[in-house]
Structure 1
Amino acid sequence: KGDYRFIFVVDLYNEGVDIPEVNTVLFLRPTESLTVFLQQLGRGLRLSQDKECLTVLDFIGQANKRYDFEGKIEALLSNTSKGVQREIKEGFISLPKGCFIQLEKKAREYILDNIRQATGSRIGIVSRITTFEEDTGKPLTLSNFIEHYHLNLKSIYGRDNFSRLCVLAGVKDDFEKIYEVELTKAMLRLCAVDSRRWISFLLRILPQIEQIDESEISSIELNMLTMLYYTVWQKPLNACGFNSVIESIAALKRNKTLFAELLELLEYRFNSIDIVDEPVYLGFDSPLDLYCNYSRDQLLTALEYYTPEKMPSMREGVLYLKDKDIDVLLVTLNKAEKDYSPTTLYNDYSINEFLFHWQSQSTTSDTSSTGQRYIHHKQQGSKVLLFVREYKTEKAGSANLALPYTFLGLADYVSHEGSRPMNIVWRLRKPIPAKYLKKTNKLIVG
């Protein structure tokens, strides 16, 4: 009715109260709990007549320099691949359609400065590691640190490995530096890994890797080890001086500290998986799982295009594997002109949860052998695999990280328009999950 203009409460209206008319929320006391923060914010997020927006007045951050803005904002953004700082700078353009967050200029500057000082820099992370056990009463582990401060793994590994940061913080003894660079970069590339099958295999086999005989493991297991090999070494065996994949991975155990951290990272990723994946039968034993993320090296290894001995080049976003009769489509949705030529700025997007619009290479005509294979692939018995990512790269700490592709599975030809390029509509055999759909269909609404 509007009889009450202000309500001041402590731990009373966090949940269970529905007052849609609330249009202003004041934060007067800090909380480290993301759940409580979202509950408090949620008191004002209900729709109500004549209510255009929710105004949030934060009186905490200015008084508490260590207040965690990054974790709070990341929780609101959900699955952004751009990073919190970039989202703030660009005006939160990755929010779902119909949603917006507006920060005053001074507030934006203050929050960005807070993030840079807290966890947006190597010094900030080291500072938090130094006092972690005293501040939280919890043992210092990678998972405890990440979960308490609501950090993204990439904010750690984009700067250094966690063990080295602990040494710099004075809470861990120094350790051997052998293969430290390779392992640190590999762990950054593994921050997005989310295949239960692949992770559980690695957690099972890595602790005893030096005891494994390559002739005694299956072809798919060797393939999964080769995926890890290329994640670490990035070059064929002869270029790295190893005789086998198992030898190359067993060598990493010479750095006991970082090998143990690698296992901890994989276990953390396994426990953080929020998708329901499943194997996809491609006519041969493949480690690729539906809806999982893979780097280009990992997926090309899984498809046996890369082998331990050879790493053929692949410049474009399409690949035809003649021996397997498979067309591989690698799609980057949002393309920066500096990364692509005018002839490769393709127009790709989802139409709905099953249909995907894809533009071929500019030289592909509908009468060419490639174009005809796309059109008649089902009749000819060939398969089409669709891998999609939102951006080519993202900023991860001080590093630029190539984003992985999400495997959306097998696709079938529906229709096409034009030639050179062909505009093809594919029908996916499995639906695009909602968490990916809002990213893949963004381009059709501008």
Structure 2
Amino acid sequence: MSAFDVAQVNPNRMLFLVHREDILYRAKETFEYVLGKTGKKMGIYTSNVKEVEADYLFSTVQTMSRHFKNYARDSFDYLIVDEAHHIGGETYQQLLNYFTPKFLLGMTATPERCDDFNIFDCFDGHVALEVRLRDALEQRLIVPFHYFGIRDIDGVDLSNIKADQIHELTKRLKVNERVSFILEQMDLYGHDGRYRKGIGFCASIEHAEYMTKKFNEASVPSVCLTGNHSPKERQVMMNRLACDEDPLEMIFTVDIFNEGIDIPSINTVLMLRPTQSPIIFIQQLGRGLRKNEDKEFLTVLDFIGNHKKSFLMAIALSGDRFYDKDSLKVAVATNFAGHLGDSFVTLDAISKEQILSQLENEKFNSMMYLKEAYAEFKRMKRGQIPYMLCDYLGCEGAPDPLAFVKKSKTYLQFIYQVEKDLFLESVLSHDTFVKVLKEWSSQLPLKRPYEFILMKYLLNHREVMTLNQELATREILKYVDSVSPTSVTHALECLGQTYYDLSDQAQYVQTFDWIGGTLVTLPVFNQLRSVPHFKTYLDDVLTYGLVRYQEEFSTADYGDPFLKLYETYSMREVAKVANYNKKHSAFRGSGLLTYKNNFFLFVELHKEKDIKESINYDDRLTSSRTFQWQSPNKTTQESPQGQNLIKNVERQIHLHLFVRKFKKLDGDVQPYIYLGKANTLSASGNNPITLQLELEHEIPPQLYRELSY
């Protein structure tokens, strides 16, 4: 990918940095293949070879760190850092602080490394391309997997074990009967390929050593590898496992193989301890997904005990970065149908019942659950406190930090509640800062990016005090393909709090004013952006919002109203993206809201038990392409509104359908899912009218299953 981009950009000089010399030569060969006809001279720069006259130079970080001052700071137009998850290291930072390329590109397969350095800061929050597990499976970049969730033996009781009770967990897992059971299941489910080549993930070094001993006694050649072994010893054993001629079948390990190994021949993964984190689960699963000539799929055996957090595997396997309880229950009940490409998941009846029960009873929005999720993520960060929302970006399987925001109004307030950090206590004592942070945080996740784009520009350009239509448009177009003048004006009006009601104005502070076609920064905003730590935390909210928006919406223009198919929206968010020019809080409270020639239909599929009969409408999906909807109960076919609904195509009325399964889950109000535009096929009755609608887009199978379940 980097070679193709360099071919397109055609820089005068390029530097490609790697951390291992063997990668260096492969990179140079690839560039020569892709750019061979450009006439660019390519060279190697290592401790032994220094082809300094090359236009495109390929160097190890170690060598360049000793000789970088032989080059001018602007020597290279284009700088590429391979394995960019190492970029927080002192050597890498020394080089990045010295060189001033026009463009910096980082590449990594493991951004979820989650150490104490935020990779995104080095790249201004920009993600050029991201391929996650589900995408990689759908695009067949990796092999599919066959996952078997197997109920553990009755003699292993993990019901009262906590994640950090490693000694007790090890003691309960070291059971001879369990080893025999694992071997039986391996024979039952088999593996793809002539030879079994597997990794077993254990609870501790003691557990890994125990499994190795027992497997060797059962004539399954195995070794134990842990952090106590040297890199050279690890490499020897990895080479043995990769070799078909070597009898070695299994490596039992703890921690060290969660990331950073490359053994394509692995065809078996054993999960031998309770899933303690969706992040670790994904990392361990990924060890066996590399393509190999003699492998069509990976076999994963997960021995699910009665641990109280068994449901974490559902979060990992769902493939959704942002999930809710109901969607997880449907995924488990349907064996994750439609989630994972050609892969398939099988849970035995007892394991499935246990996980569904745990999901039903778990309070995902409780402070206890959120603290546990945060603590696990912090452990993944090697004990470093993740002070920034952006710390969660790039970590597949990480908790959604907006759940923390929702609980405490801002992420910083949640961190303070958990950590009791004295510096944060000082920061949060500034009432004005907190009110602005709350206002900006309340807009996450973004449904349109314009306001955040403009605020980020103003926050980082202290000399800019006003924004007009032309400058605002120019800044917005740096992030999106196109934007209408009406939307730009509406975004500027929103920044000036034009559509805030009295309640909004009471809880927030006005930072901008919309005066005569110009947005003016107010003194309070200028004061906040002049204080470094205030600016840092505010910029984190803006960066997180824009990066997450980019992941979910890309750069496309979704028109007016600015609605993306199958995205979720609150009524107030619909008002915003429709450029509604009245108080946005007024755009709610009815199943039918209208603005210009757009009719917005809001439906709850499962009505509350105590709903009044007069509003207990018979709204339902009748197929993946059709929907039955009933109008407000005072509407007749002869009324102007009734005619607009019945003859919507003829009258150029756009019917936008939004649905949600439940109004609330665990006390939290749920957003609506946008199913797109619909047109009326037929109408019957009055007070209310029953309309048969045809959707312009067929609902995808996975979503249809979820809405129908």
TM bracket (short chain): 0.5 to 0.7
- For residue 389 of structure 1, what is the aligned residue in structure 2? 660
Kept in 1: contact 2:630–2:689 (CA 8 A): yes
Counterpart AA for 1:73: A
Q: 1:251 to 1:414 in 2, by over 3 A?
A: farther
- For residue 153 of structure 1, what is the aligned residue in structure 2? 401
- For residue 318 of structure 1, what is the aligned residue in structure 2? 592
Q: How does 1:207-218 map to 2 (within 5 A)?
A: 207=460, 211-213=465-467, 218=485
Distance 1:232 1:16 in 2: 60
Task: Note the C-alpha offset of 1:249.
Answer: 8.9
Kept in 1: contact 2:445–2:549 (CA 8 A): no
Distance 1:276 1:95 in 2: 33
Kept in 1: contact 2:401–2:411 (CA 8 A): no
Check if 1:219 corresponds to 2:468.
no
Deviations 1:322-365 (A, max 9, x none): xx233221223333234x43222333334444433222222223
Check if 1:426 corresponds to 2:671.
no
Counterpart AA for 1:27: L
Distance 1:403 1:229 in 2: 28
Kept in 1: contact 2:568–2:674 (CA 8 A): yes
Q: How does 1:70-81 map to 2 (within 5 A)?
A: 71-78=312-319
Residue 423 of structure 2 is aligned with which of 153, 165, 173? 173
Scaled by the length of structure 2, what TM-score is found?
Answer: 0.46
Q: 1:301 to 1:277 in 2, by over 3 A?
A: same
Counterpart AA for 1:335: K
Distance 2:690 2:523 in 1: 47
Task: Note the C-alpha offset of 1:244.
Answer: 3.2
Deviates more, 1:159-168 or 1:124-133: 124-133
Q: 1:237 to 1:191 in 2, by over 3 A?
A: closer
Distance 1:438 1:231 in 2: 41
**Structure with greater Cα Rg:** 2
Deviations 1:196-246 (A, max 9, x none): 677656655664597333566543123235557779966488767858355
- For residue 33 of structure 1, what is the aligned residue in structure 2? 280
Distance 1:107 1:84 in 2: 12
Distance 1:293 1:249 in 2: 33
Check if 1:358 corresponds to 2:629.
yes
Q: 1:377 to 1:387 in 2, by over 3 A?
A: same
- For residue 446 of structure 2, what is the aligned residue in structure 1? 193
Residue 568 of structure 2 is aligned with which of 293, 305, 323? 293
Deviates more, 1:145-154 or 1:408-417: 145-154
Q: 1:124 to 1:247 in 2, by over 3 A?
A: farther
Task: Note the C-alpha offset of 1:305.
Answer: 3.6
Q: How does 1:89-128 map to 2 (within 5 A)?
A: 120-121=368-369, 123-124=371-372, 127=375
- For residue 382 of structure 2, what is the aligned residue in structure 1? 134
Distance 1:29 1:100 in 2: 17
Q: 1:423 to 1:109 in 2, by over 3 A?
A: closer
Task: Note the C-alpha offset of 1:92.
Answer: 5.7
Distance 2:274 2:549 in 1: 34
Task: Note the C-alpha offset of 1:258.
Answer: 4.0
Check if 1:370 corresponds to 2:627.
no
- For residue 46 of structure 1, what is the aligned residue in structure 2? none
The percentage of counterpart residues that share the same residue type is: 15
Distance 1:299 1:117 in 2: 24
Check if 1:329 corresponds to 2:601.
yes
Check if 1:58 corresponds to 2:288.
no
Q: Return 5+ residue gaps in structure 2 as ranges.
A: 1-184, 191-195, 201-248, 251-262, 290-299, 339-344, 473-484, 529-533
Task: Note the C-alpha offset of 1:266.
Answer: 0.5
Aligned length: 408
Counterpart AA for 1:298: E
Counterpart AA for 1:294: Y
Distance 2:664 2:564 in 1: 23
Q: How does 1:260-271 map to 2 (within 5 A)?
A: 260-271=539-550
Task: Note the C-alpha offset of 1:133.
Answer: 4.1
Report the 3-state secondary structure (helix = DSSP H, G, I; strand = E; otherwise coil) of the residue aligned with 2:600: strand
- For residue 45 of structure 1, what is the aligned residue in structure 2? none
Distance 1:87 1:133 in 2: 26
Q: 1:196 to 1:318 in 2, by over 3 A?
A: same
Deviates more, 1:298-307 or 1:269-278: 269-278
Q: 1:118 to 1:85 in 2, by over 3 A?
A: farther
RMSD, aligned CA: 5.2
Deviates more, 1:78-87 or 1:268-277: 78-87
Distance 2:433 2:703 in 1: 34
Counterpart AA for 2:282: T
Q: 1:334 to 1:82 in 2, by over 3 A?
A: farther
Q: 1:388 to 1:359 in 2, by over 3 A?
A: same
Check if 1:302 corresponds to 2:577.
yes
Q: 1:369 to 1:86 in 2, by over 3 A?
A: closer
Task: Note the C-alpha offset of 1:127.
Answer: 4.4
Kept in 2: contact 1:157–1:184 (CA 8 A): no
Deviations 1:175-203 (A, max 9, x none): 14324665565566444435467765665
Q: 1:39 to 1:342 in 2, by over 3 A?
A: farther
Check if 1:272 corresponds to 2:548.
no
Distance 2:321 2:486 in 1: 36
Scaled by the length of structure 1, what TM-score is found?
Answer: 0.68
Deviates more, 1:358-367 or 1:105-114: 105-114
Q: 1:311 to 1:119 in 2, by over 3 A?
A: closer
Q: 1:79 to 1:389 in 2, by over 3 A?
A: farther
Q: 1:26 to 1:94 in 2, by over 3 A?
A: closer
Report the 3-state secondary structure (helix = DSSP H, G, I; strand = E; otherwise coil) of the residue aligned with 1:259: helix
Kept in 2: contact 1:69–1:114 (CA 8 A): no
Report the 3-state secondary structure (helix = DSSP H, G, I; strand = E; otherwise coil) of the residue aligned with 1:380: coil
Q: 1:335 to 1:80 in 2, by over 3 A?
A: farther
Deviations 1:385-411 (A, max 9, x none): 22333332345xxxx543333333332
Check if 1:83 corresponds to 2:324.
yes
